Structure 1
Amino acid sequence: MASMATVSCCRRPLGFTEYFFALTTELNIPYSLAYTWQLESKSPLSVDLIHQAAALLQETMPLLRLCVVKEMDGKYFFELKDTVTVPLEVSNETDWRKEQDEMMKVVYNLKTGPLWKMRFLPTVCRESALGDTRKEGNPYTYAVIFGIDHVLTDGFTNMSICRQFLKILNGLIDGGQPDKTPHTKIDPSLVDLMPQSEKAFGWMDYVVVGKFIWNTMFSKPKPNIFAVRYPLVDTYPSHTFSISTDGLSKEETKLLRKMCKLQQTTVNGAFTAAASTATAWMIYGRNKPQGDIQENTVAVEQTVNMRRFCETEEGKNALGVLFLSTLIPVTLSPSNDNPKSLWDAARSTSSQMHTIFENGDLLKQLRLANYFVQKMKAKDLRSNMKISAEQRCFAISNMGDCSGILSGTGDHVQVTDVARSANLLEGQSVVHFVHSLQGRLRYNLSYNARRFTQEEANRYASWTLELLRSLISNIDGTAV
């Protein structure tokens, strides 16, 4: 494979989120991300063309040339590599889902890099050459599996990488001369991009720190009911797998957005309500009488893109790990499966999220997380992760509408679908991945194979979509 030209070296300290993911990788608990980009092209794409695009992608995005250096004093830094090979592989696999699951298992070497990998599945191209039934004028379809260590990126950044790859690929097909100027800028960490007024610790922050230390020393938190119902099975391998669904159609997505507006809530609120009731069905059973069940309030993890709080354009468009997870209490009840109950739950979630945004609670959480994580040692991390995973019922990563960020990249090749997944941290149960693309709501579920069978995970994802579709109606159940 090709190698890159030498560039000037630069470095910066890891932010607290990056430091956390570096520690997990050191403990052999990698948090690897895997994205599948479904490509449609007007002409066949060769392996050489994909390799050239991948090499240029690496040259134009310094993020992809970073490694992690640990100094003698224990501090961690990102360092830009002088020379990096292009980590492109070609796969003969015809099922991209298998490749995506395999990509989640990759453990990256923080010291040497590269901390990302790409697999190209050109099977359709070869089949076309053999004279398949592809009609003239129909696009050629391919899959690219993009994997990366979470220490480098979040969802917004990964979509930005996809956009850059498309721009480069379309530019090469157009015959233009690619810009080979080496780029060496590394964006600041999350904490450095936040408003200066929000960085200073106040007396209330110290009160929260004291309470946390007290609870850590003298109280033992109980696991949530989902973790109790589906305990970790130590005899099973610690693997994460992904359930890929069809999501919602364009018409269904349009109706859901319309109903959310009428019900004064958000798509994220509606999805959280559907996932919560599906979780209750998984715990209690779908048809169990409500009188036999005690409702439970659990913590649901919501991922927030913190760029919304940046005051500069540099911050709003910065690449790297710029997200924060916050916990929202939701009630689990299998009888909350009617539109009225689901909409009530959706409004509750969206209202809580709105309050968190307006009150600056996330910036406070950011200060506290920065304080705690920076003081964390590798030996304490594993036990803290287990406790944290037991307390969180499930997680939702909702990126909203991604159509804008992937638009305007060229006329020859486009991405028609994106599937997202992540290798779960130790003990974590499930993560629901949601986003919209080209007018369709897309949904994937990453699940812990030590807690769920594939059949159970399929049922869970199917029930979540079924409940979400039930909201595409009026309160009385009639179609919109």
Structure 2
Amino acid sequence: MERKEKWLWKTTSVEQSFNTYNVSYQLTFATREPLLHDHLRRALAHLSRKVPLLRMCYAQRNGEWWLKEMCQEIIDFEMIPDVTIDEAHQKCLTFRYDIETGPLWCAKLKTNSLSLEGVSDRSMADFPHLNTLFLGIYHGITDGYSNMKICGFLIQLLEDVISGKPINDEEQLCECVAGEKTQRMVDERFAAIKANCEYKEKMVEEYQASQSKCLLASLIPEGAGEKDPKTRLLTRTLDVDTSAIFFKRCREEGVTVNSAFTALCSVAMVDFLVEGGIHRETYSISSNHVVNARRYWEGDTSEYLGCHALPTNPVVVETPRNVGAKFWDYAREVHREFLKTLDSGKALHVEAMKQIMRSESPDCGALSEQSQFDFCMTNMGDVTPLVTEGGDHVQVIHVLRCTAIHPVPNFWGNYLHSFRGRFINVLAYSTENINDQVAEKYCGKIFKHFHEAINIKK
């Protein structure tokens, strides 16, 4: 299917910041009848035609990178029956997209999926046929919210294809937009900083100070791991009952799940540092949180897809060596600090400072060769309404997500969300600095504190 050339927009600074790596989504679903590969291929073709984001590619225009619509429809679909779950994610996370031709996404199907950790033995009498689809997407065109919506669109279209319902490809399922609103807010902060020399000097000093290495870097030297690094994953899916206890306890203690889990990661990090020989009364634990920029837009943004994540929202909290039974007091402190960054638009300020540093010198403001954060966090809350549970022919069982860590200077990142009442955590780590044993040890400490926290009485 040939299309006329259609230019979309010049890439924004946020899109450019995500242009170095991929994302991988794992969508496990069950069907009433054996899944016909033709059904999935047709659903993927409809998905491409009805979601503008999936028709994007890049092109040079007057010496600048622009996004444009692909000239030809290409559906990159592959059957991967004989690979492991980890190998499937590796295929997506390391996939080399032809950014000037497209597509900037791919789909890989693994049939007869194995049982999933934390997913109860629900009755499969009506939906006995399990399949897992891996969606790989180039991060420069998309974000977590968009990806979860795309998963939901695909399930909806697969349901329609199997049922024989007519599908109108001219009716678009969403609107794909540039981050102009975000860029405008960043530009306003940029101008305000540049207009006051004394203020700019102060902001530059603060920004440079924030680029110092995290405590963890002193224990894990750069390049200590594999010379050809990759991103590996540790996943934890809690059962519905344990998840409900955790959610309820967070509400009772007046904190969000995001803040509680950040606190758990911080406390586990202190354990890690103490065992590494760093002995202090308190530790400045630094976490970086990816923020959905739509929160700063006006009006209903639910139909706007694209790359609208702000990559850097730093939170630094003094963490005592022994939190113990005062965990929830500490979690509330983390929550207060995190809310301060959200309310002040800290992530917008950091983006403006990156532009300030680049305007001073092309080499300034670039990413450090080592992480400035002890860990990174991205939380999407309950994604069930976005992905949907399915319909009469297809039921979604599980979904998880991850981003390639190895192309950027991060040791590891936690990807949080819940689906159908289950709390899901993926710890993605770069094997350049972190080996499997270190990752298992850290993840084990997080969930040790998790189980202690939900059993602590006031």
Q: TM-score range by the shorter chain?
A: 0.7 to 0.9
Q: Which residue, out of 374, 398, 401, partners 2:382?
A: 401
Larger mean Cα displacement after TM superposition, 430-439 or 418-427: 418-427
2:225–2:434 CA contact under 8 A, matched in 1: no
Q: Does 1:48 align with 2:38?
A: yes
Q: How many Å apart are 1:157 and its aligned residue? A: 0.5
Please provide the CA RMSD for this pair. 3.1
Q: Is the 2:358–2:366 contact (alpha carbons within 8 Å) kept by the matching residues of 1?
A: no
Q: After superposition, where does 1:324-473 map in structure 2 within 5 Å?
A: 324=310, 325-336=312-323, 338-340=324-326, 342-369=327-354, 380=363, 384-387=366-369, 389-407=370-388, 409-424=390-405, 425-473=407-455
Pick the aligned partner of 1:20 from 17, 23, 30.
17
Letter in 2 for 1:105: T
Q: Per the alignment, do residues 72 and 91 of structure 1 end up closer, same or farther by CA in structure 2, a change over 3 Å counting?
A: same
Deviation at 1:469, TM superposition (A): 2.1
Query: Quick one: which of 244, 250, 259 aligns to 1:254?
Result: 244
Taking a change above 3 Å as real, the CA distance of residues 466 and 109 of structure 1, as seen in their structure-2 partners, is: same
Equivalent residues in 2 for 1:146-161, closer than 5 Å: 146-161=135-150
One-letter code aligned to 1:440: R
User: C-alpha displacement at 1:307, in angstroms?
Assistant: 1.2
Structure 1 position 178, deviation (Å)? 1.4
**1: CA distance, partners of 2:388 / 2:206:** 48
Q: Identify the match of residue 283 of structure 2 among 259, 274, 296.
A: 296
Query: Residue 186 and residue 72 in structure 1: after superposition, are their counterparts in 2 closer, same or farther (change >3 A)?
Result: farther
Instruction: Give the Å deviation of 1:92.
Output: 1.8
Query: After superposition, where does 1:46-195 map in structure 2 within 5 Å?
Result: 46-73=36-63, 75-123=64-112, 136-181=125-170, 187-192=176-181
Structure 1 residue 408 displacement after superposition: 6.4
Paired residues for 1:200-239 under 5 Å = 203-204=192-193, 206-207=195-196, 209-211=200-202, 213=204, 222-233=212-223, 236-239=226-229
Per mean C-alpha deviation after superposition, the further-off stretch among 158-167 and 177-186 is 177-186
CA contact (8 A) 1:232 1:427 kept: no
Letter in structure 2 aligned against 1:181: E
- 3-state SS, counterpart of residue 343 of structure 1: helix
2:265 to 275, 278, 290: 275
CA distance in structure 2 between the partners assigned to 1:85 and 1:300 by the alignment = 39
Return the letter of the residue paired with 2:246: L
* CA apart distance, 1:365: 4.2
Query: Structure 2: where are the runs of 5+ without partners?
Result: 115-122
Distance of 2:147 and 2:23 partners within structure 1: 9
Q: Within 1, Cα distance between the matches of 2:207 and 2:83?
A: 49
Q: 2:303 aligns with which of 302, 314, 317?
A: 317
Give 1:9's aligned residue: 6
- Tell me which residue corresponds to 1:25: none
Say whether the 8 Å CA contact 2:181–2:297 is kept in structure 1: no
Match of 1:284 in 2: 274
Residues 430-469 of structure 1 show CA distances to partners (whole Å, capped at 9, x for unaligned) of 0001101111110001101011111211221222122122
Q: Is the 8 A contact 2:204 2:353 kept in 1?
A: no
Contact 1:105/1:239, CA 8 A, preserved across alignment: no
**TM-score when scaled to structure 1?**
0.84
Go from structure 1 to structure 2 and tell me whether the alpha carbon gap of 1:344 and 1:306 turns closer, same or farther (over 3 Å shift): same
**1:33 pairs with 2:23:** yes
1:352 Cα deviation from its structure 2 partner: 1.6
Name the SS of the counterpart of 1:100 in structure 2: helix
CA contact (8 A) 1:241 1:447 kept: yes
- Cα deviation for residue 48 of structure 1 reads 1.5
For 1:193 and 1:285, the matched residues in 2 are separated by 42
Mean alpha-carbon deviation: is it higher for 11-20 or for 364-373?
364-373
**TM-score, length-scaled by structure 2:** 0.87
Shift of 1:59: 0.9
Change (3 A) 1:140 1:94: farther
1:413 and 1:436 map into 2 onto residues whose CA distance is: 20
Q: Contact 2:389–2:396 at 8 Å: present in 1 too? A: no
SS at match of 1:349: helix
Render the CA deviation track for 1:296-348: whole Å, top value 9, x for unaligned: 203210111121221122x3431111111200002355523x241x2122111
C-alpha distance in 2 between matches for 1:306 and 1:361? 11
| SS at structure 2 position matched to 1:151 | helix
- Residue 414 (structure 1) shift: 2.5
